[in-house]
Chains A and B, each alone.
Chain A
């Protein structure tokens, strides 16, 4: 297959995948403000779901809360004020994500800090292991093998052989 044909095939595949996705975007319905705000709040019935997603039949909380939200939006209050009103009424638990200020903001930092620490460890390991490799190459090119490790290796091989024999002999 020539490169041009390969490219044509790839383009055809890409067009089909992209065209499957894009009209969905064009048709996408605009969410109203209440809906957007509803995703920032939790339903307080204890289901642990987003307010606009709680679909429990006869849920005692989501219906009144959604009405309350609609009423706030109808008065033209700013988003922050509406959220603040809900926090005052229901406590911080009503927020669907931890606040970005105060103690609870720590939740947002944990993944980043974990990544930074992990990345540091990985980079350190890679550097350390590469240095070992350089040292190994240097040893291999110049210095004679160390008798101790060779003896260890031999012992290990003999041990493994003995264990295999024991395995065979004790096989049911």
Chain B
């Protein structure tokens, strides 16, 4: 039973091999039975990976300490909740979890398009199986989570040994969010495999037109939403658990997750150019390739020990496998491109510099430059060591200095891009669309400066945030006003109808607004304050408008850890406003300590208090307090981004609305003289999405 999952993974490997070679044979022979057989092998691979993963979960929940992985990442007193998340807490389990999530995507794709697109799907199946086989190779032969302890019995015969208890889970991972953040982020990483598979398949199979783009758009958005949420959840975990008062430290692992997000964002924008105008075919294919390559590169960096990171897994030889896989991907992509580049030829034409097309080009440029800057900063220590023999550090000062101007430009384009017309924008239209938001932005910046704000980038961020918000509001207002005039509904109802008529466009605006909130939140970092003190009971610390009175310390004993806790009474303007309990935990199973930060969060600021340990000189507990303005806006912005993406994923309801109007017999002229179109129900499904 212990090794049941191991056999399932071995079988999955065998089926994946069949899915590849059977798929290739199906492509060559075009025999429908072979196509179906290869696809069914794909289904079997997924089912077997699920069995392999569920089996490992079972071993965690049954405290099977004959398994090396279970013993290293769990113990008997670990709560069931963390036994669930312990599965991906180490190298081997996280790779299996990667396979697991990928298999969910693969199954969904194979199932959704079963029997459809016979000229494309065999290629897609082969590419997906190719990616799966790499991870199954890791799961089976390089980093198996199913290794067992061996002991020597009588006569020197090896047998399976069992430990009485495990070492326990890393304390940093014993935080509720760790059950959500890695699956979310990994769902982003693995999700980008789908557009990659379709792009490569379309290129290899010379699949005509922009169909592959339509097929993968939603998959890309899903992966992008997971990646966005994963990045923000990771930032929140770092903020709430690591206890250093920040949420983003430009750590290589953080950078590794940001890079594919940047190129994925670029793709989501430039793909509109291909859909609308048939432009940028080569660029889009390469953006998808690049996004997937960056997912693999990021994984290589953090699993090879090539770069230092607090999040990185222990140094191992596993990185070489990822480098090899990355090289293989590059070779396949370059070869496929060189062989079929004529297929990607498009008649790119541009009417004017002042057009939506130009803004997308600049948007892509800025996102790619941001990606290059992050990549350069992340890899430069390795380059420096290779050239000069000594490693250097590239820390937050570098990344902030380089990326803040880029981010400001991007924020500017977020406001400008959507308001430029396709093909050509007249100067009159520019004045009409931008005059009002621009004035609003300058008024906001002017007021802030008059009130004493002097930080250049914060002022610029405020100006641009107001500008972008007003452009978004103006867009909603203009559309809603037209609908309101036609239907007589109020503006909010009209705005809702407007959004549901073109979910992609207005969902996109909601995402942009979410990003504005994130930018505002990040700008608050310029005003962070912190103070550290050795505090005895009854002592007091002042930070910003708050007085922190330390009342007492106590300790508690929990099944899995012991905890020291400070009780702090927080006063504001002489009035007690809250009690905070920063805690320090000690986990005896792995002899490690961890902090539980006490955070009081409002839209204005976070009061963030850490029990930082005991000063050996004074033998007093050290309390480190931070006042971090506007942090909550970041999490709020993240939620808006995800909601906006979900909105953009919904099908348009334009026809439904017209149908219901027609069915209700409301054919009377609506204000403005427009008549609702009479559309039959059957016609509804044939209506194309009104992309924008």
Contacts and interface: CB of A to CB of B under 8 A. Distances in A.
A80 interface: no
Contacts of A172: 114-115
Given A18-B462, A48-B252, A48-B310, A55 B380 contact: no
Contacts of A91: 390
B319 interface: no
A110 B376 contact: yes
Interface residues of B, number: 93
Interface string A111-124: 10011001101100
Contact of A130 (B351, B365, B527, B605): B351
Nearest to B612: A55
A141 interface: no
Contacts of B651: none
A19 B462 CA distance: 11
Interface stretch (B46-54, B94-102, B182-190, B243-251): B243-251
B529 A170 contact: no
Given A115-B369, A126-B358, A133 B444 contact: no
B309 A40 contact: no
Nearest to B244: A55
A105 to B, nearest CB: 11
Interface residues of A, number: 71
B373 A49 contact: no
A25 B527 contact: yes
A130 B351 CA distance: 6
**What's the dominant secondary structure at chain A's contact region?**
helix
Interface in B591-611: 593-595, 603-605, 610
A81 interface: no
Nearest to A160: B208
Given A55-B610, A57-B595, A98 B392 contact: yes
Contact of B395 (A21, A97, A133, A167): A97
Given A39-B397, A53-B246, A118 B369 contact: yes
Contacts of B118: 166-167, 170
A111 B373 contact: yes
A2 B396 CA distance: 47
B366 to A, nearest CB: 8
A25 B455 contact: yes
B447 A15 contact: yes
B613 A57 contact: yes
Contact of B604 (A14, A20, A115, A126): A20
A42 interface: yes
Given A21-B453, A107-B394, A126-B350, A53 B384 contact: no
B436 interface: yes
Interface string B343-375: 000011111110000100110010011001100
B424 to A, nearest CB: 10
B376 A25 contact: no
Contacts of B353: 126, 130
Interface in A148-172: 156, 159-160, 163, 166-167, 170-172
Nearest to A22: B451
Nearest to B586: A57
Nearest to A110: B376
B32 A125 contact: no
Interface in A87-137: 91-99, 103-104, 106-108, 110-111, 114-115, 118-119, 121-122, 125-126, 128-130, 132-133, 136
20 contacts: A7-B439, A10-B436, A14-B447, A14-B466, A21-B458, A21-B629, A22-B452, A48-B395, A49-B244, A49-B395, A98-B394, A104-B392, A107-B376, A110-B380, A111-B369, A111-B406, A122-B365, A133-B349, A159-B208, A163-B208
Interface of A: 6-7, 10-11, 13-15, 17-22, 24-29, 39-40, 42, 46-50, 53-55, 57-58, 91-99, 103-104, 106-108, 110-111, 114-115, 118-119, 121-122, 125-126, 128-130, 132-133, 136, 156, 159-160, 163, 166-167, 170-172
Interface of B: 32, 114-119, 208-209, 242-246, 249, 251-252, 279, 308-310, 347-353, 358, 361-362, 365, 368-369, 372-373, 376-377, 380, 384, 387-388, 390-398, 401-402, 406, 436, 439-440, 443-444, 447-448, 451-455, 458, 462, 465-466, 470, 520, 523-524, 527, 529, 531, 543-545, 584, 593-595, 603-605, 610, 612-613, 624, 629-630
